[in-house]
A and B are shown apart, each in its own frame.
Chain A
């Protein structure tokens, strides 16, 4: 035995004994033995867009903000609403005035109490043309009184429908009844902001040396392109129930590289690159997970005047949708446990019941036969084949899906679909100008309610790139906003879409991740993927 090995052995023995002797901490409710090092090493694809709650716009950045700032309400592991800074709220009968009661023990990390005025300031900031937040529209989506006029510069920010009745009572007035308003207060745009600090440091206030937070963690370090370090905030009101000490998020832009580093033990959680899920599930079944996501993947027909004549015929749209074998796409192309889509709204959306569509119940052979029949009826056959262009943004996955789609149409229906890929911004620009026939689309919900998807296909929607327009559909969606039986109306609206087929739903996204077995508390059932660092913990291995 060399001297080196001996020293090493001795060190190992000492540490084993020491580790064994120390009374290991246990989880207060589950009784699991906790790891001594409570550091959660997370992965992110890119730098966060900002740490400013009113400015941040990317989802990973919003997750970091959610760990540092606490809004009125939070979500539990299943996505249900639980108290945050507010202990609860009351709402009037018209569902347009909400009154939140704030907990008195909540404080900022500089010792100041968190008061209703901090929310008023933050919400006014969000719509302030001077800050020009890209998420100002969220305040409009929340229907807060005068939000639109303030954004347009027609009214002062002080006219916003939010006021502090006293330090611990916040009253919000809406321009329309919104039964699900409280669920929207879990969004980062609505988090409070420390006025004093922002006025002192300006745009520099989110730098680690300046930032003041009211959440469970505080920013310790940010090296762009490398890492973001957040550590426990001892002044957080519920700090005693926080178990994690540190969240270290490493920026790795290449997902395969992230996977290798996960396998090397450098990460507790990563998202899997496309196509790797089946292999990982086989090799590490306890770590590879696929969870439903509030996002859909579809192709949209251009039914506006600039679109092809053929797509104005519902039979053509139906035929193309029927001929898509979604099972092949989810099981052989995506391979990440994605659900096949026969409705625009994912079935995972809270309270949403997809309509009984004829298509979902047919076998693929029946669908194909029906597709041929419809296309022939519409007047397209071998002598007069249907031909159109389809566009998608450059990506390995989108390409695979597009190629498979065009092959399915070609083989089953003799349809000629010409593929064109475009760089992302060019694609968005082209699609936004209705300069296409068939285009890829995807949408992720802003809140867990079907309207976040169905609004998109209404006539006035700015995101309705195919320019689909149906009065009956628009009316249904409008009345659902205040109706008691909203879910039923959403199902009806989906039935119209299934009949008219303005878009071809392909699949609904699934989040495929690797999560180390010693990381506990991950909210797999929260379809909005809102996770709170204060609910996570690491167990001893």
Chain B
């Protein structure tokens, strides 16, 4: 097991490197640059700026300088657009915010989603089941970029209960709406996966055997059915956790949380190369780590899987 984890972590290094190189080349292949604007800079001004950021060097030298900076000094470079900030600053400020509401959303989505799925499966083909299925379908059909403005219209404008955006150091009033908007569709997916998996397990042979043995219903569900029924959910949770703590562009956009998600999109549009690369490395590393964690949990849940 330990060997397996080490191996996976070691392969992560070339994976990240390839990711950085591809991302770097794609960014530079896109037309325009960080200093292209409606008002083109005079050539000598542009030359000074490019010299300052090393953009006048050949591409491979820029890539090399960047990699050396990251590996030796853990320095992800400066932002070309927000000139008072380095990429390290931007991530250090934005990531904790995203991590906070992402983790809360993840916990909420998992607990509520799993509970709803299990409950619906146990009450299969009753009104409880129909209600749960109906709710999950509507929740999935309502994307967060529709939900976010609606939440603000209701809770901020009409009711005046919650602030319409901001973060304020993460006070709970500021966290509620981002969490609702972010967790809903994940919650719905989890509930649907959980319900299907649970139904399948409940109809399997070993559960029938357990019932024939006369085991109490709660033992059957919690001791025997639950673990295998969680498997599909777990494989879904790994990537979705990463998506929740990083891919929250919409949340950052609508709720002005100051999270790191918005930088991802803005950096690409602004050709803010270093920010783009920094955020990509962060996402890549997180994806690798959480896929690994999902695989480890998988092994624990399924005795048939051994690494």
Contacts and interface: CB of A to CB of B under 8 A. Distances in A.
A425 B93 contact: no
Interface of B: 30-33, 35-42, 44-45, 48-49, 51-52, 81-85, 90, 93-94, 148-149, 152-153, 156-157, 160, 163-167, 252-254, 256-259, 262-263, 266, 269-271
B256 A425 contact: no
A224 B90 contact: yes
A300 B148 CA distance: 39
Contacts of A153: 44, 48
A206 interface: yes
A283 B256 CA distance: 27
Interface residues of A, number: 54
A261 B151 CA distance: 11
A132 B156 contact: no
B82 A428 contact: no
B75 to A, nearest CB: 13
Interface string A46-69: 111111100100000000000000
24 contacts: A46-B266, A48-B82, A55-B84, A132-B49, A137-B45, A151-B48, A153-B48, A207-B84, A225-B94, A225-B263, A226-B256, A226-B257, A257-B148, A257-B164, A260-B153, A260-B156, A261-B165, A263-B157, A264-B152, A266-B156, A428-B36, A428-B38, A428-B40, A462-B40
Nearest to B37: A428
A137 B82 contact: no
Given A223-B93, A224-B94, A426-B32, A257 B52 contact: no
B83 A254 contact: no
Nearest to B42: A137
Interface in A189-204: 203
Contact of A264 (B36, B90, B157, B262): B157
A462 B43 CA distance: 9
Contact of B84 (A52, A129, A251, A424): A52
Given A152-B44, A260-B149, 17 more contacts: A50-B82, A132-B48, A136-B45, A140-B42, A252-B165, A253-B253, A257-B254, A261-B165, A264-B156, A264-B164, A425-B30, A425-B31, A426-B31, A426-B32, A428-B36, A432-B36, A462-B42
Interface of A: 46-52, 55, 129-134, 136-137, 140, 148, 151-153, 203, 206-207, 223-227, 250-254, 256-257, 260-261, 263-266, 423-426, 428-430, 432, 442-443, 462-463
A257 B157 CA distance: 11
A253 B262 contact: yes
Contacts of A131: 52
B157 A260 contact: yes
A462 B39 CA distance: 9
B160 A264 contact: yes
A49 B37 CA distance: 14
A385 to B, nearest CB: 31
Nearest to B53: A132
Contacts of B271: 425
A424 B269 contact: yes
Contacts of B254: 254, 257
A447 B157 CA distance: 39
Given A226-B257, A257-B165, A260-B152, A432 B40 contact: yes
Contacts of A152: 44
Nearest to B270: A425
A313 B40 CA distance: 28
Contacts of B48: 129, 132, 136, 151, 153
Contacts of A266: 156, 163-164
Nearest to A223: B258
Nearest to B33: A425
A132 B51 contact: yes
Contacts of B36: 425, 428-429, 432
A443 B40 CA distance: 12
Contacts of A256: 149
A426 B90 CA distance: 26
B256 A224 contact: no
Contacts of B252: 225
A225 B164 contact: no
A156 to B, nearest CB: 15
B84 A50 contact: yes
